[in-house]
Homo-oligomer: A and B are copies of this chain.
Amino acid sequence: MKARDTFKQLPHKTIERLSQYRRALLICLENNKDHIFSHEIAKIQHITPVQVRRDLMLIGYSGTLRKGYNIQELIDLIADIIDSDEGINVAIVGMGNLGRALINYFSGKRHKLSIVAGFDINPDKIGKKVNGISCYDSKSMGEIIKEKNIEIGIITTPSSHSMTTANQLVEAGIKGILNYTPKPVNVPDGVYLEEYDMITTLEKVAFYVKMENERAADSVVTRQDQGTAASDF
């Protein structure tokens, strides 16, 4: 069994954390650090040091006792695991507010993951460039995606068009889809799909804020109750 085969069995959560560790490590590297302890990584990511060590164990990386992990080595290893050697090309479908924000954001950030095309149906947008990325007519998706060897599609159309767009992407031979619209899509087996839902996260925060508010309100009531009870004596 090849080393990379063991990576296939990494827990999904570990994959996510590796991406996050790398981000933290890159920042540390900029600050001229060369080694880092598990508890330092843990602090940054709001997790436990054990979790960090366990993840690193799973990818077979060893640190140095009392010195920690070599940052550059670890970055390289993570790259080995999650990046693909040749890089992966990405397209954005729907060059609206979010699509453009994403393009601006990603431009020239990651070597191995590059947005190389945008698609839209609005004639005003087709043919224009955003941050150096051309916007093509959605109708030409099939050709462009093959021509530019695009493997991942990001959907940022209005949600009413998410399914059509997913179908077009699948038809064009895409391998992975990241759907930012709040309307989930269906794709056949073999196409990796991630639904990325911004409202859910905000609603989750709101829920726990609400819970905390109620807890606080309750504990005031409880304190009053106790007070009354005490005055009975």
- How far, in whole Å, are A119 and B195 apart by their CA atoms in the complex? 29
Flag if B97 contacts A105 (CB, 8 Å): yes
Contact pick for A184, options B44, B110, B196, CB 8 Å: B44
- Contact present for B206 and A82 (CB under 8 Å): yes
| Nearest CB in chain B: distance from A166 CB, A | 12
Task: State A104–B100 Cα separation when bound (angstroms).
Answer: 13
**Interface of chain A residues 72 through 126 with chain B (CB within 8 A):** 81-84, 88, 90, 97-98, 100-102, 104-105, 110, 112-113
Number of chain A interface residues as a range: 35 or more
A212 within 8 A of B: yes
**Is the Cβ of A202 less than 8 Å from the Cβ of B90?**
yes
Of the candidates B82, B104, B154, B208, which one forms a contact with A176 in the assembled complex, judged by CB atoms under 8 Å apart?
B208
CB pair B206–A113 under 8 Å, yes or no, is: yes
CB-contact partner of A20 in B112, B197, B207, under 8 A: B197
Which of these binds chain B: A136-144, A186-194, A224-232? A186-194
Whether A198 is near chain B, meaning CB under 8 Å from some CB there, is yes
The residue that A201 contacts in the complex, of B84, B183, B196, with Cβ under 8 A, is: B196
Tell me if A66 is interfacial: C-beta within 8 Å of chain B: no
Report which A residues bind B (CB closer than 8 A).
Answer: 4, 7-8, 12, 15-16, 19-20, 23-24, 27, 43-46, 81-84, 88, 90, 97-98, 100-102, 104-105, 110, 112-113, 151-152, 154, 175-178, 182-184, 186, 190, 192-215
What are some 14 contacts across the A-B interface (CB < 8 A)?
A7-B211, A8-B211, A12-B204, A15-B204, A16-B204, A23-B199, A46-B195, A82-B207, A84-B209, A97-B101, A98-B101, A100-B101, A175-B209, A178-B205
